[in-house]
Amino acid sequence: MIKPHGAEYLQPLIVSNAAQNAALLATAERLPSLLVNSAAAANAVMLGAGYFTPLRGYHDRADTLSIADKMHTTDGLFWPVPCVNLTHAADGITPGARVALRDPNVDGNPVLAVQTVSKVEQLTAAELEHIAERVFGTVDRAHPGVATFLEQGSTLLAGPIQVLNYSYFERDFPETFRTATQIREEIVQHGWKNVVAFQTRNPMHRAHEELCKMAQAAVGADGVLIHMLLGKLKKGDIPADVRDAAIRKMVELYFPANTVMITGYGFDMLYAGPREAVLHAVFRQNAGCSHLIVGRDHAGVGSYYGPFDAQKIFDDQVPAGVLTIKIFEADNTAFSKKLGRVVMMRDAPDHAPEDFVQLSGTKVRDMLAAGQALPPEFARPEVAKILMHYYQNEG
């Protein structure tokens, strides 16, 4: 199986031994506490689950700026997005201190992890904007990722962490949340050699379904990992439980048996376009995947990125050899009225726009909210039914 990024073996930071976990939790209750923000909590979950191998904790100022500028740490490790614990105040926290990091997303704010603080540093407003511009390509606060980043505070707490649990993800998504370790183990159980990963924060329509099948055939993969984001999204995105139900129904009815793993990971969406696409590749390699589908406007939002910037970054800015995972570059997919099937639009140069069935996200939401059936060429009826129920009752 493909090796993890920057390491011979996966390096999850979860304290998995029950006795050691209980002892550390008891110690943590006596330590100074810090209620972290959701982004720092999500980073802790990803570190705990092995997805952020080989990181040992949160980056310091020098590494954060180096990653923003060059996509590698000061000691040369390739990494596309800084893993930080930013806060507005760190009163009484000094280098060398151990701090209990408390979860902002669970009632009662239980201890999520214990951090050994190596540095307490301040980022200037100019440095924060510079990091945002490099990572997100903009400092426009209308960009949801930029707004979230710039609201986290300017005090940077660096240092290694020990993770005690996976926040709300195991509880709320017991059938879907999986660590990188668990995914690797399941790949072995299936006997798969090559696995193509599909990233999604949205429900999957006919085009997504066929894209997975096209990619699997093109790269000769034994199976497909449908890997959905389970964390925080921007307003208007469909909740994870609804997406999960829709995707499971689609796979049950329209994919060959034993060819798909439906899983999810505990991270908040960054909407960082190209940089986030590279981060997606890093942690899919850590999960044991040989290929990642990178499609049109991958991890994008609004019009901040070009339609294929998330593919170009792998050619233009990712040094050869730093990643083992390969990228399957996908074009926009749509149902061809001429051919009677879903195609990648670049493979149909003789088609006019009216030869495709395409709907905007806004149009889809409006139709579902109004109880109107989506065209079967666009969405499987069983999937559309689940989405329609959501929009009519809660959306």
Evaluate if residue 362 carries a pLDDT over 70: no
Q: What is the pLDDT of residue 3?
A: 97
Q: Are residues 188 and 125 in the same domain?
A: no
Residue 1 lies in a domain: no
Q: CB under 8 Å to 283, separation ≥6 — which residues? A: 5, 46, 51, 52, 180, 265
What is the percentage of the chain residues whose pLDDT exceeds 70?
Answer: 99
Q: What is the pLDDT of residue 327?
A: 97
Q: What is the CATH number of the domain that holds 151?
A: 3.10.400.10
Q: Are residues 62 and 104 in the same domain?
A: yes
Q: Which of 137-151, 167-181, 364-378 has the lowest mean pLDDT?
A: 364-378
Query: Per-residue pLDDT averaged across 258-275, rounded?
Result: 96
Residue 12 lies in a domain: no
Q: What is the pLDDT of residue 136?
A: 98
Q: Are residues 146 and 222 in the same domain?
A: no
Q: Are residues 159 and 201 in the same domain?
A: no
Residue 140 lies in a domain: yes
Residues 60, 25: Cα–Cα separation, whole Å: 25
Q: Are 270 and 305 in contact (CB under 8 A)?
A: no
Last residue of a domain, one of 132, 167, 202: 167
Beta strand 155-163 with 356-357 is unpaired
Evaluate if residue 332 carries a pLDDT over 70: yes
Q: Are residues 133 and 247 in the same domain?
A: no
Residues comprising the chain, all counted: 395
Range of the domain at 206: 174-265+271-393
Query: Per-residue pLDDT averaged across 224-246, rounded?
Result: 88
Q: Are residues 130 and 184 in the same domain?
A: no
Q: Are residues 243 and 143 in the same domain?
A: no
Last residue of a domain, one of 138, 167, 196: 167
Query: Per-residue pLDDT averaged across 271-284, rounded?
Result: 97
CA–centroid distance for 275 within its chain: 11
Q: Give the C-alpha distances (Å, rounded to integers) separating 299 from 141, 159, 207, 277, 303.
A: 17, 28, 17, 6, 12
Q: What is the pLDDT of residue 341?
A: 87
Query: Per-residue pLDDT averaged across 199-216, rounded?
Result: 90
Residue 342 lies in a domain: yes
Q: What is the CATH number of the domain that holds 204?
A: 3.40.50.620
Q: What is the pLDDT of residue 17?
A: 97
Give bridge partners of residue 335 from the DSSP assignment. Answer: 342, 357
Query: Per-residue pLDDT averaged across 76-94, rounded?
Result: 95
Q: What is the pLDDT of residue 361?
A: 64
**Among this protein's residues, is 275 annotated catalytic?**
no
Q: Are residues 344 and 221 in the same domain?
A: yes
Q: What is the pLDDT of residues 21-46, one digit of tens each?
A: 999 999 999 999 999 999 999 999 99
Mean pLDDT of the chain: 94
Evaluate if residue 370 carries a pLDDT over 90: no
Candidate list 201, 248, 296, 365, residue with the active-site label: 201
Q: What is the pLDDT of residue 393?
A: 81
Evaluate if residue 200 carries a pLDDT over 60: yes
Candidate list 56, 202, 296, 332, residue with the active-site label: 202
Q: What is the pLDDT of residue 359?
A: 65
Q: Where are the beta strands (DSSP E) in the chain?
A: 33-35, 57-58, 86-87, 98-102, 111-116, 119-122, 155-163, 195-200, 223-229, 260-265, 291-294, 326-329, 333-336, 341-344, 356-357
What are the tokens at 83? 């893993």
Q: Are residues 311 and 358 in the same domain?
A: yes
Q: What is the pTM of this model?
A: 0.94
**Judging by beta carbons within 10 Å of its beta carbon (0-12, 13-18, 19+), is residue 169 exposed, middle or buried?**
buried
Residue 378 lies in a domain: yes
Residue 9 lies in a domain: no
Residue 88 lies in a domain: yes
Number of structural domains (the chain) is 2
Residue 163 lies in a domain: yes
Last residue of a domain, one of 167, 188, 207: 167
Q: What is the pLDDT of residue 274?
A: 97
**Among this protein's residues, is 393 annotated catalytic?**
no
Q: Are residues 196 and 301 in the same domain?
A: yes
Beta strand 223-229 with 260-265 is parallel
What is the percentage of the chain residues whose pLDDT exceeds 90?
Answer: 78
